[in-house]
Amino acid sequence: MNRYKTISMAFIILFFLSFNGLFAQMGGGHGGHGGHGGNGHQGGNDCDPDSLIPVTVSGTAIVDSSMMHPMYYLDENGDGEADYHLNFGPWWYEPDSGNASRPNDGDFVTIDGGMHDDDSLMGNLPVIIVYQINGEFWRDPFDPSWTHHGGHGGGHHGGHGHTWGWMHDSLQVVTVTGTAMVDSTFIFSHYYLDENNDAVPDYYLNFGPPWYEPPSGAERPNDGDVVTIMGGLFDNNNLPMIIVYEINGQVWRDTTGWGPHMGGRWIYRYMNQASHIQAPFDDDDWMDIEPGWHPGGGGHHGHLPDSLFCQMIQIFPQNAPNSNNENVFAAYEFGLFSPGGVNILWQDHMYGRHIQFANNVDYQLHYNDIQLQGFNIDESTIQVKYWNEQSNSWEVMGNAVVDMVNNTVTITDATVSSLFILTGQQNPLSIDEQSPTLATQFTLEQNYPNPFNPSTTIEFSLQDNAHVVLTIYNVLGQKVVQLLDEAKPAGVYQVKFDAGNLPSGIYFYELKVGDVSMVKKMNLRK
């Protein structure tokens, strides 16, 4: 009996032509480096984890070892044929903690994972990206690896939350050269370095959040590129991680402004100085915790431990859960970790727990004009809300102070929640109506098509000769690419924007004509 469902030769040829990188594990690949030959994905690569269907399936593993690197399938109904293709990531990938391993042919296994809703990826077999095998952690699709500074922190599936940091006050600065290995199973790629040319990663490379781009113009490597990395080495018990400072001699991140824990810091019950915690990639997002924060009691039975590692990051607004009825334009996640690595703001696989400190915490949350204009927010109506798991709703923090000059919101409150959001009412007037003089200078049309994949057209018109700057931003208001920066005569213009290398989500495009600008929102759906 044929253990694999029949795929026509014509389909195989077309599949190879269309998805060359998908089967790079079979030799060649795009990297030009024989030992790597691409990242070895097994279907469903570059997918958005939010688009995957959570599933748990049990069955017999089928391992096809006829290729350079094995392909994995699952027979769920015991008929001897594959019902699912199992994606364990690149052939060289191993989880950073736990005892999980790939199955042998004939093993009975239980798989927890995310199923791709496009069953045409692997010859009409549904693809499951593996999160757990037999209850052992394999990978966390929602884990923001750029905040990982040592080991797997439990993730959303483990109920511990996903921000984490290190206890070290300094890092060893190292310079290493090797071949880049890129795991693009998910929409945000993970980067590794093979230093000794054995086709196995020796370091994990932390380039920061996927939206971060350095002012120097340095770029992340492609799979198979030979690169020289200078950075801070965090040598944990698993794969050593390098926080990238330079790549091929170009500055990636200026570390002179970083605190000792890169976005996090330990606080202690009997500390005598305030602790300042800031987000790793925006110095204007921070929290100050004063001595006396500990409410008393022991470190068990629901009481706070004597020490906590505190961390904050800014997240995409659309990733704030249960926010469909909220007009969210900025969002933040906070973590409070016990010495054992458990985030006490996450429990029972649920987000949004909040606790009360014995005294107030000072917060500052930063937003920018691109976010305001892109979401058409009336700045005078901005509110800060936190998620209350007891009422199962977003609660307003009533003492927020909005600084419209510096684009910050400050709060003083004893509440520490895992999730904060900034919301605001829509401007009653459109941007055109708010500034009627704009129409006499230029017009900016809505991009078309919208939503789009992967390219769209942006049209604008100039009434007079002018210097024009057209820029694309992500949903955090951070610049992605500049499409135009030049003088233009009066007329109508159409500019094509190709987002083939960008993840799905909301983006903004801003047209500056002289000292006047307009921002519109667009939606990339892959």
Whether residue 401 contacts residue 363, with contact meaning beta carbons closer than 8 Å, is answered with no
Give tens-digit pLDDT for 373-386: 999 999 999 999 98
- As a whole number, mean pLDDT of residues 98-114 equals 88
- The yes-or-no verdict on residue 284 having pLDDT over 80 is yes
Q: What is the pLDDT of residue 40?
A: 40
For residue 105, what pLDDT band results from cuts at 50, 70 and 90? very high
Asked if the model's pLDDT at residue 335 lies above 80, the reply is yes
Distance CA 282, CA 470 (A): 24
Q: What is the pLDDT of residue 249?
A: 92
Residue 308 reports pLDDT greater than 50: yes
pLDDT bin (cut points 50, 70, 90) of residue 116 is confident
Asked whether residue 28 carries a pLDDT value surpassing 80, the answer given is no
Alpha carbon distance, N-terminus to C-terminus of the chain: 37
Rounded-to-integer distance, Cα 429 and Cα 186, Å: 39
Q: Do the Cβ atoms of 156 and 351 come closer than 8 Å?
A: yes
Structure-token match 């909220």, residue found: 326
% of the chain at pLDDT higher than 90: 36
pLDDT category of residue 494 using cuts at 50, 70 and 90: very high
Q: What is the pLDDT averaged over residues 434-456?
A: 81
What average pLDDT does range 87-101 have in this prediction? 76
What is the four-CA torsion angle of 383, 387, 392, 397, rounded to 10 degrees? -40
pLDDT at 310: 87
What distance lies between CA 411 and its chain's CA centroid? 26
- Measured CA to CA, the distance from residue 294 to residue 268 in angstroms comes to 8
Average pLDDT over residues 391-397: 89
Q: Can you spell out the DSSP letters for 269-304?
A: TT--S-EEEEETTEEEEEEEE-TT----S-SSTTPP
CB 163 within 8 A of CB 341: no
Place 429 in a pLDDT band, splitting at 50, 70 and 90. low
Strands (E), 367-502: 383-388, 393-396, 401-403, 408-417, 419-423, 442-444, 455-462, 466-474, 479-488, 491-498
Q: What is the DSSP string of 26-58?
A: GS--SSS-TTT-S----S-TTB-GGGSEEEEEE
Residue 519's pLDDT is what?
Answer: 93
Residue 97 has pLDDT above 90, yes or no: no
For residue 277, what pLDDT is reported? 87
| Residue 318 burial by Cβ neighbours in a 10 Å radius (0-12, 13-18, 19+) | middle
Question: What is the average pLDDT value for the chain, to the nearest integer?
Answer: 77
Query: Residue 13: what pLDDT?
Result: 26
- CB atoms under 10 Å from CB of 239, counted, come to 15
- CA-CA distance, 11 to 308, in Å (whole number)? 55
Catalogue all structural domains in the chain, each as residue range(s) with its CATH number: 9-137 (2.40.50.140), 170-256 (2.40.50), 264-423 (2.60.220), 431-524 (2.60.40.2550)
Residue 276 has pLDDT above 70, yes or no: yes
pLDDT of 135 higher than 50: yes
Mean pLDDT of 351-370: 89
User: Do the Cβ atoms of 76 and 185 come closer than 8 Å?
Assistant: no
Overall average pLDDT of the 276-304 stretch: 78
447: phi then psi, degrees, rounded to nearest 5: -60, 155
Q: How confident is the model at residue 37 (pLDDT cuts 50, 70, 90)?
A: very low
Compute the distance between CA of residue 294 and CA of residue 269 in angstroms, rounded to an integer: 6
Q: Render 54-77 in DSSP notation, one character per residue.
A: EEEEEEEEEEE-SSSS-EEEEESS
* Mean pLDDT of the region 351-368: 88
pLDDT-based confidence at residue 289 (cuts at 50, 70, 90):
very high
> Is a pLDDT exceeding 80 seen at residue 142?
no
* Lowest-confidence segment of 20-34, 94-108, 335-349, 503-517 by average pLDDT: 20-34
Q: pLDDT at position 434, please?
A: 46
Q: Which residues pair with 127 in a beta bridge?
A: 85
DSSP state of 21: G
- Range in 129-133, 383-387, 471-475 the model is least confident about: 129-133
* Rounded CA separation 212/311 (Å): 18
Determine the Cα–Cα distance for residues 162 and 389; give it in Å rounded to an integer.
18
Tell me the three state secondary structure of residue 403: strand
Q: Report the C-alpha gap between 422 and 385 in whole angstroms.
A: 7
- pLDDT attached to residue 195: 95
DSSP-assigned letter for residue 466: E
